[in-house]
Amino acid sequence: MFLYHFICYWSILWNTQIIVFTLAISRYLCYTISIMAAKLPMVAIIGRANAGKSSLFNRMVRSQQAIVAREAGTTRDNVTGKVQYQDHQFWLVDTAGLKDPLDEFEATIQHQIDDAAEAADVIIVVVDSTEYPGDEDRMVAKKALKSKKPVILVTNKADLKTSLPDTEFRCLGISDSIRTSAEHNSGIAELLTKITDLIPIARESEPDDVVRIALIGRPNVGKSHLFNTLAGKQQALVANIAGTTRDLGRTRVTFHRQTLELIDTAGVRRQGKQEVGIEKFSVLRTLQAIEEADVCFLLMDVGELNTQLDQRLAGLINEAGKGLVLVVSKWDSVEGKDAFTRDALAPKIAHSFDFVPWAPLIFTSSVTGQNVTKLFELATDIITRRNQATKTRVLNDLLQQAVQKHPPAGLKNSHPKLRYMVQTDTAPPWFVIYGSNLKFVHWSYKRYLERLLRETYDYSGTPVKFSYRDEKQIKANRERIAKGLEPVTKAYKQRKKAEQSAK
């Protein structure tokens, strides 16, 4: 009887522990899911011009995203970056600084600051600690306190000898104050700790299938206007002044369950006209955006088509192996156009860009919204084509048919022999042809092979890359490696792996 009660007691205790453990696990999972599903908080940096906001932004996001210069008013568009500090993640927004009310961009800049302050969970007011508070500082502080959001006052440039004590800034009415030096990374950890105390814990996983689309073109061709139209909101400054955009503007949209990241870039002028300083940095950021993007929209003003710089930009995108769409903007500004105007312009544009005949051409208008949605469809279709893989057997059949129909020409007793072809990479599609005497393959024959490949498989919108590997040279390299005359390189390992997969 005693043994029976003992067994019942321990069975009840054991089941209770299982229930408690299960409840603890379920609570932990619910807490984790709620953190992962929570929207990341947003922190906005506001202040007058040349107070060091962009330097502070770069320190906190740990990258040179915002252009920093001594010239007041360098930043014009809001620059957004993700900050991760300890267990917290949040979005940080760098806004343009308040300056002269007569400035042509000041009205739009104040509107962007208001939008950032309204959407933010925490507002950071940055002031220059070497100067006494002015009217712009009081206006910014009043704007931040009026929002009823948590406000942190940052007295930047505290490392300089002429910096003022914190008592001089109490007139702004902000109780929380932190002294920082963005240039020397002083006070940044204290500022991040203060921010994380004011926001909830939230994490956001980065999607693996983000398609990055860069808007490339000369100044004042309508990139920022199209960027705002695609984003569905006023994200970037729009003006008839060339060089309005300086930093890279980014925003994400969802199209048919596909996450698209739009990148607005600065206009590129020819090198002789580029000014030293901010414009040089802006052009470098544009070239960086080309390398980062999957698809590039090359915008061309309908009133100034077929320029040499547009062709050069298309060549840079082609060499980078990125998807390309030729976009003719401001189509609404054409006077007296009819149904045949587009058909008359398209062949002329195609002739100027005959080195990228695979790039689709589209006429758009950001004012009327004509063909804007089709840009999303073109981008997603190009991504699908860039990632399609082809079987080696099918490629070899295509190669043998091409050689039989049109054998490659060469020199006497040195005719090229194309043996087999494999696809080694996607995005962009990359094909390697193995054979002998391949250095004698004429460029026209290479174009012939590419044309056959494009006729067989739809690779419109993306460049196709070819490499040629001479088997005699590969054999000689193997012998040198076996004798210890050359180190085993990464390229050698990739070639060997491709050969094994082809066999």
Q: Which residues are annotated as a binding site for GTP?
A: 94-98, 156-159, 217-224, 264-268, 329-332
The beta-carbon contacts of 49-52 under 8 Å, at least 24 apart in sequence, are 49/73, 49/96, 49/97, 49/98, 49/99, 49/136, 50/97, 50/128, 51/97, 51/126, 51/127, 51/128, 51/156, 52/126, 52/128, 52/156, 52/157, 52/182, 52/183
Q: Are 371 and 405 in contact (CB under 8 A)?
A: no
Tally the residues of the chain: 503
Which pair of structure tokens corresponds to residue 64?
């040179």
Residue 63 phi, psi (nearest 5): -160, 160
Residue 40 phi, psi (nearest 5): -65, 135
E-assigned strand segments in 3-108: 42-47, 79-85, 88-94
CA angle 304, 307, 311 (to 5 degrees): 135
CA distances from 395 to 6, 422, 442, 445, 501 (A): 75, 7, 20, 17, 13
Q: Are 327 and 370 in contact (CB under 8 A)?
A: no
Q: Are 76 and 96 in contact (CB under 8 A)?
A: yes
Distance CA 273, CA 126 (A): 35
Distance CA 298, CA 355 (A): 15
Q: Are 112 and 78 in contact (CB under 8 A)?
A: yes
The DSSP call for residue 1 is -
Per DSSP, helices labelled H in 293-362 are 308-319, 341-352
Distance CA 87, CA 187 (A): 19
Distance CA 37, CA 93 (A): 21
Distance CA 1, CA 370 (A): 87
Q: Are 127 and 164 in contact (CB under 8 A)?
A: no
Beta-carbon contacts of residue 15 (< 8 Å; ≥ 6 apart): none
Annotated binding site: 94-98, 156-159, 217-224, 264-268, 329-332
Q: Are 215 and 286 in contact (CB under 8 A)?
A: no
Burial of 237 by CB count in 10 Å (0-12 exposed, 13-18 middle, 19+ buried)? Answer: buried
- SS3 label, residue 151: strand
Q: What is the DSSP string of 192-205?
A: HHHHHHHS-----P
Residue among 319, 248, 239 nearest 285 (CA): 248
